[in-house]
Amino acid sequence: MPTQQIWTHGNAGLLERKRAPAVNTKTEVRRAFDTFDGDIVNLGGFAAAAFLRMGFEGRVVVFDHGDRDFDKSGEFWLHYTLPTIVVPGCRVRKVMVRFNTPNLQKIAIRRIHMWDGNRERVFADDDVDENMRYERGFNQDYQMGLTVSMLIRANNANDDILSIFGVGAEIDI
């Protein structure tokens, strides 16, 4: 089987809203968005995280949305859908993320999961402690589109940033 890499730009990320799994009514939709529209999620208190799209880069910034500028902590999920080729017998061999943070202790990717559509999780690393280049090999068949989910964690961040340049996978088709 030939091996191929599939990638998406860092700017393609989608934030998961904290209350999204419970949304079924208009009231719950409004509650899920809190006071923020678009690519900002409330992390609790006055902490918020924004996802900014700039060229090929997706930039995460954790900030104090109140009238002060205090350090903030919290975590949230960011999801990337990969342009997936699906044929009988296809296998995913590796997950790859290219990113950078000036301060790994303040804001970083702490978990990376890969999903086979809504069918099953095919990969999980719940102890990510790297900067710049993440690659993990595994060998799993898949039947639907692939999604990479990343848990972003901020620890006393104050205008600290995390830049994501690309998310990809290596597949056998």
Query: What does the pLDDT look like over 39-74, one tens digit per residue?
Result: 888 888 888 899 999 999 999 999 887 778 888 999
* Band (165; pLDDT cuts 50, 70, 90): very high
Mean pLDDT of 97-126: 95
> With left for phi above 0 and alpha for psi between -120 and 50, is residue 20 left, alpha or beta?
alpha
Taking the alpha carbons at both ends of the chain, their separation in whole angstroms is: 6
The per-residue pLDDT for 21 is 60
Q: How far is CA 172 from CA 77, 83, 104, 142, in A?
A: 27, 14, 33, 10
Mean pLDDT of 15-36: 69
The per-residue pLDDT for 17 is 74
Torsion angle in degrees (nearest 10) through CA of 17, 19, 22, 26: -80
Question: What sign has the CA pseudo-torsion 50, 103, 135, 9?
Answer: positive
What are the tokens at 110? Answer: 């702490």
The per-residue pLDDT for 41 is 85
The per-residue pLDDT for 24 is 72
* Band (90; pLDDT cuts 50, 70, 90): very high
What are the tokens at 132? Answer: 């710049």
Instruction: Quote the pTM value.
Output: 0.90
User: Comparing 45-49, 54-58, 76-80, 95-99, which segment has the lowest mean pLDDT?
Assistant: 45-49
- Parent domain of 150: 3-172
The per-residue pLDDT for 25 is 77
Q: Residue 34 in contact with residue 43, Cβ under 8 Å? A: no
More confident residue, 36 or 141: 141
> With left for phi above 0 and alpha for psi between -120 and 50, is residue 169 left, alpha or beta?
beta
- The CATH number that applies at residue 97 is 2.60.120
Q: Residue 164 in contact with residue 112, Cβ under 8 Å? A: no
Number of domains, the chain: 1
What are the tokens at 135? Answer: 């690659």
Q: Residue 108 in contact with residue 132, Cβ under 8 Å? A: no
Mean pLDDT of 87-102: 95
Q: 10 phi and psi, to 5 degrees?
A: -60, -25
* Band (38; pLDDT cuts 50, 70, 90): low
Q: In the predicted model, is pLDDT for residue 150 greater than 90?
A: yes
More confident residue, 96 or 18: 96
The per-residue pLDDT for 67 is 78
Q: Residue 154 in contact with residue 62, Cβ under 8 Å? A: yes
What are the tokens at 50? Answer: 């924004």
Q: In the predicted model, is pLDDT for residue 114 greater than 80?
A: yes
What are the tokens at 36? Answer: 């923020």
Q: CA 111, CA 78: separation in Å to the nearest integer?
A: 10
